[in-house]
């Protein structure tokens, strides 16, 4: 932990380190083969732009040029229809759509950005579950 709490990015978060320390699993938050896609009511078929595999989604997320690891989240049916986009989108592994709140997103982001914590995650695209583990760096 930094000697001065003002040097610790998690110090400014609504949630303190205790809220993210340990292992937390967020269920059914990732893109899966069962992610809902739109269906054309006239033909009963899914439009070509909404057809995708988990492998494509994982490759897309991995291709994003950023220092923060990305995951594939499901896109809403509405956005798929309105923008004719794929049924997935990429986001940082601690994105609020995955972790459930902006406060948790900020706390995970701060923990990831500081050397005071070791942050790891596992994305299970078969189940749709995301598991994030945060430990104090001096304990890992």
Q: How confident is the model at residue 140, as a pLDDT?
A: 58
pLDDT at 124: 97
Structural domains in the chain (count): 1
Instruction: Report the alpha-carbon distance of residue 40 to residue 94 in Å, rounded.
Output: 33
The pLDDT of residue 49 is above 90? no
pLDDT band per the 50, 70, 90 thresholds, residue 1: very low
Q: Alpha-carbon distance 47 to 52, whole Å?
A: 10
Q: What is the mean pLDDT of the chain?
A: 89
Q: Cα separation of 60 and 57, whole Å? A: 5
Average pLDDT over residues 25-32: 97
Question: Which structural domain range is residue 56 located in?
Answer: 5-136
pLDDT attached to residue 19: 86
pLDDT above 90 (res 13): no
Render the burial of 82-116: b for 16+ CB within 10 Å, e for the rest.
eeeebbbbbbbbbbbebbeeeebbbbbbbbbebeb
Give the pLDDT confidence score for residue 42 in this predicted structure: 87
Q: For residue 103, what pLDDT is reported?
A: 94
> Within a 10 A sphere around the Cβ of 56, how many other Cβ atoms?
15
pLDDT of residue 12: 67
CA separation for the pair 21, 36 (Å, rounded): 32
Residues in a beta bridge with 74: 88
For the chain, the straight-line distance linking the first and the last C-alpha, in angstroms and rounded, comes to 13
pLDDT in tens, 76-103: 999 998 998 999 999 999 999 999 999 9
- Lowest-confidence pick of 3-12, 41-50, 90-99, 104-113: 3-12
């Amino acid at each position: 932990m930094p000697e001065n709490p003002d040097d610790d990015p998690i110090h400014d978060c609504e949630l303190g380190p205790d809220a993210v320390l340990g292992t937390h699993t967020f269920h059914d938050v990732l893109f899966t083969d069962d992610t809902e896609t739109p269906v054309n009511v006239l033909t009963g078929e899914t439009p070509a732009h909404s057809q995708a595999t988990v492998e494509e989604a994982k490759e897309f997320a991995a291709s994003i040029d950023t220092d923060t690891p990305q995951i594939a989240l499901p896109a809403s049916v509405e956005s798929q229809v309105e923008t004719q986009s794929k049924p997935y989108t990429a986001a940082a592994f601690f994105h609020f759509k995955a972790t459930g709140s902006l406060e948790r997103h900020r706390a995970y982001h701060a923990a990831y950005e500081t050397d005071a914590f070791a942050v790891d995650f596992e994305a299970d695209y078969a189940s749709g579950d995301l598991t994030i583990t945060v430990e104090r760096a001096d304990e890992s």
